[in-house]
């Protein structure tokens, strides 16, 4: 992608210190954008901030508990001040609420769903002021099919997919495009599938065998789609959920 298409754009990435969020933030920075990231873990946040700074452009990083409705507007306001506005919002964070328990449901609904709603609302004045704003929500293929191993996660991601379409219909005439990305199984250091390789090798191998390309996905492959959807090259793409799963859904 031409660097000029995103040069000078101001991007906020939630859950931007590791995995998909980290790859997304780096891809934007490498394409000339200024980037703000947030996460709960301070050490990983600082490591990623330093990495982004080496890519050039303005970088902002701040701790934010996205399950806390009071933290979100404080972070978004600080990000907008540091960057000089917000043109692009990537709602990427997950609460990793996998178990069918009160805790699992609370984690998924508070972060995977409500943080999308709250962060979008907090960023909206800046996105509208941008005149060519974009939101990309990161969901999952778990939101497109039954999710027996992770009921709260799948339900929350299904809601994100539906909400993305609703956002798109509400905002497109106001100059803000909204789209969604639904990744398949993505492996990165410290992530769920990296952990399952050793904690649940049977599930890992079973999943791997079902992958048509013979491997799990990489965070950078999701980042490429997110950056494309947020860029002027996707100016005619509105309200879509794009599956990026290496054909995984074809085998389910």
- C-alpha torsion sign, points 181, 146, 68, 93: negative
Catalytic residues: 153
- Residue 31 clears pLDDT 90, i.e. is over it: yes
Q: What is the pLDDT of residues 120-145, one digit of tens each?
A: 999 999 999 998 999 999 999 999 99
DSSP string, 21-54: HHHHHHHHHHTT-EEEEEES-HHHHHHHHHHHHH
Give the side-chain half-sphere CA count within 13 A for 97.
24
The structure tokens 């999943």 sit at: 207
What is the H or E stretch that residue 118 is in?
helix 114-130
Structure tokens at 182: 């639904």
Complete domains list, the chain, with CATH: 3-187+218-243 (3.40.50.720)
CA triple 246-95-222, angle to 5 deg: 25
- What average pLDDT does the segment 188-213 reach? 86
Distances (CA, A) of 33 to 90, 124, 141, 225: 13, 19, 28, 16
pLDDT band at 62 (very low <50, low <70, confident <90, very high): very high
CA distance 56 to 53: 5
Q: What is the pLDDT of residues 65-119, one digit of tens each?
A: 999 999 999 999 999 999 999 999 999 999 988 899 999 999 999 999 999 999 9
- Residue 3 clears pLDDT 70, i.e. is over it: no
């Amino acid at each position: 992608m031409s660097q000029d298409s995103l040069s000078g754009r101001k991007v906020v990435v939630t859950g931007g210190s590791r995995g998909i969020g980290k790859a997304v933030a780096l891809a934007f920075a490498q394409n000339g954008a200024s980037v703000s990231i947030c996460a709960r873990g301070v050490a990983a946040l600082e490591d990623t901030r330093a990495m982004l700074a080496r890519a050039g452009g303005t970088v902002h990083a701040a701790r934010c508990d996205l399950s806390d409705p009071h933290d979100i507007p404080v972070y978004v306001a600080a990000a907008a001040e540091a960057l000089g506005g917000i043109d692009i919002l990537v709602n990427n964070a997950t609460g990793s609420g996998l178990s069918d328990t009160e805790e699992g449901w609370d984690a998924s609904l508070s972060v995977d769903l409500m943080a999308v709603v709250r962060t979008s609302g907090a960023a909206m004045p800046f996105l509208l002021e941008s005149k060519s704003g974009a939101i990309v929500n990161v969901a999952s293929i778990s939101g497109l099919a039954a999710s027996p191993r992770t009921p709260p996660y799948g339900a929350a991601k299904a809601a994100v997919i539906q909400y993305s379409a609703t956002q798109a219909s509400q905002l497109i005439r106001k100059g803000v495009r909204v789209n969604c990305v639904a990744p398949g199984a993505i492996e990165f250091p410290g992530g769920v599938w990296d952990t399952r390789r050793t904690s649940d090798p049977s599930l890992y191998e079973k999943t791997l065998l079902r992958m048509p390309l013979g491997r799990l996905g990489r965070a950078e492959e999701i980042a490429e789609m997110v950056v494309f959807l947020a860029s002027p090259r996707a100016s005619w793409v509105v309200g879509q959920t794009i599956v990026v799963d290496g054909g995984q859904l074809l085998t389910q």
